[in-house]
Amino acid sequence: MLIYNAKVVTWEKPNQIHDNYAVYIQGNLIKEIGPSSELLKKYPAEDKIDADEQLLMPGSICAHTHFYGAYSRGMGIPGVPSKDFPENLENLWFKLDRSLDEESTRLSAQIFAIDAIKAGCTTLFDHHASPEFIDGSLDVIADVIDKSGLRASLCYEVTDRNGKNGTKAGIRENVRFLTSLKAGKNLGGRLAGAFGIHACLTVDEETLEDCAAAIPDGFGFHIHLAESQEDEWDSLYRFGARCGQRLYQHHILGDRTIVAHAVHVDAREMELLKETGTWISHQPRSNMNNAVGAAQVESMLADGMKVCLGNDGFTFDMWSEWKTAYFLQKVIHRDPRRMNGYDVQEMAIYNNAKLAGQAFGFGDQFGTITVNAPADLILVDYKPFTDLNPGNIPWHIIFGFREAMITTTIVDGKVLMLNRELTTMDEKAICARSREKCPEVWRRFSELHGVK
């Protein structure tokens, strides 16, 4: 396939932007990049996509999400509104995940896969929970990823909140799935995995010890860390150590582990995260919604920590996450000088790409338009009326880009959406079935609240 007549944003370091360029894809890899006139002559018989001067960029990457949260959209929560984050967990998420069966787990993944394709988000790091459907749940989501054509890393959330039998089942599901990946069931490099744990708030020392002992070689963990201050206070009260210290003591931190949020970590915990090479995923829209505060991402980045950008189950329009990350630090600190656009770019582009390159085996070429990089690409119908160059592109994204501008999504060399038409998923049929399933899921949710 040859994509030509494009403004190519390579996202190399340093970034380059080429006018009227073409990209030749062979199989699942980018094989040549050059002026459109030259490559059109060289590959006259190849399938072609005329970019019509659109931006051709690597697809977005989401470092932390929750497919299972799809049915929360528009759902009313019975009772008095939650006053803090622990109440929000108890009133919403801990009841929603218990309301999911196999079909609603599949539909949740399908709905968000559609959203990701339309939003140009080609690589996803999911953190799943469905306590009433644990065994085989990751295979159901993997099947959705397979058929959608996306690239994803999956894990199951181990927690003690549903009893020790549930804890053991979650550990078994992680081990089973990761073992299958080691055996080669990785969709040709589109499927990866981690060992999921919910948070310090919902696991005791025995569970952390069991998880550390059970994880297969070559994998890391995916866990929420200090999302709210209650996570830290609970850890200190019950175990005499802060969350990051507990994870460090149990060998949960490491250069293949993702910790989500890290809003309330202290200086020593940040030292431990840096020392172990642990990845940190920042979710500003979620942090604002849950009123938990803002992570010290500027300081973390300045100290060389590996801070990425996720969405925590919000829409997969990652440019909205860029905007929120940029604005949140300014309003929290009441200082318009806070959060440079280059810092947002470092998280969303370069650090996310390094994380994905490690997880999926492509190294530093992941998330770039370079020879032998994976062909995970999007076309963006953005016609700038001021100069667009490598120096100012973060501010074009923050102040100018919109999800609706994405016209084409390609993953692993396969077109998943062309001219805004999905090619791998039947959005109309999936949404119709989801609406039929919705009353059943919401009824179970209400019953868990004691509402008939």
* Whether 99 and 27 share a structural domain: no
Q: How far apart are CA 176 and CA 162, in angstroms?
A: 20
* Whether 54 and 82 share a structural domain: no
Q: Would residue 268 count as lying in a domain? A: yes
The β-bridge relationship of strands 221-225 and 258-261 is parallel
Q: Would residue 317 count as lying in a domain? A: yes
CB distance 28 to 76 below 8 Å: no
Q: Would residue 324 count as lying in a domain? A: yes
* Whether 286 and 351 share a structural domain: yes
Q: What does the pLDDT profile of the chain (452 residues) look like in tens digits?
A: 999 999 999 999 999 999 999 999 999 999 999 999 999 999 999 999 999 999 999 999 999 999 999 999 999 999 999 999 999 999 999 999 999 999 999 999 999 999 999 999 999 999 999 999 999 999 999 999 999 999 999 999 999 999 999 999 999 999 999 999 999 999 999 999 999 999 999 999 999 999 999 999 999 999 999 999 999 999 999 999 999 999 999 999 999 999 999 999 999 999 999 999 999 999 999 999 999 999 999 999 999 999 999 999 999 999 999 999 999 999 999 999 999 999 999 999 999 999 999 999 999 999 999 999 999 999 999 999 999 999 999 999 999 999 999 999 999 999 999 999 999 999 999 999 999 999 999 999 999 999 98
* Whether 352 and 397 share a structural domain: no
CB distance 126 to 66 below 8 Å: yes
* Whether 52 and 69 share a structural domain: no
The pLDDT of residue 91: 94
Domain end call among 339, 363, 387: 363
Q: Would residue 340 count as lying in a domain? A: yes
CB distance 395 to 341 below 8 Å: yes
Domain carrying residue 255: 60-363
* Whether 25 and 88 share a structural domain: no
* Whether 179 and 239 share a structural domain: yes
Q: How many folded domains does the chain comprise?
A: 2
Helices (DSSP H) in 94-149: which residue ranges?
94-96, 102-118, 137-148
Q: Would residue 409 count as lying in a domain? A: yes
* Whether 66 and 40 share a structural domain: no
* Whether 198 and 111 share a structural domain: yes
Q: How far apart are CA 327 and CA 122, in angstroms?
A: 25
* Whether 66 and 141 share a structural domain: yes
* Whether 324 and 357 share a structural domain: yes
* Whether 359 and 376 share a structural domain: no
Q: Would residue 235 count as lying in a domain? A: yes
Domain end call among 316, 347, 363: 363
CB distance 106 to 128 below 8 Å: no
CATH of residue 256: 3.20.20.140
Q: How far apart are CA 225 and CA 423, in angstroms?
A: 38
Q: Would residue 309 count as lying in a domain? A: yes
In the numeric block, the tokens 């810092």 are attached to: 343
The DSSP string of 155-169 is -B-B-STT-HHHHHH
Q: Which residues fall within 8 angstroms of residue 39, CB to CB, at 6 or more apart? A: 2, 4, 22, 24, 32
Please report, as a single letter, which amino acid is at residue 21. Answer: Y
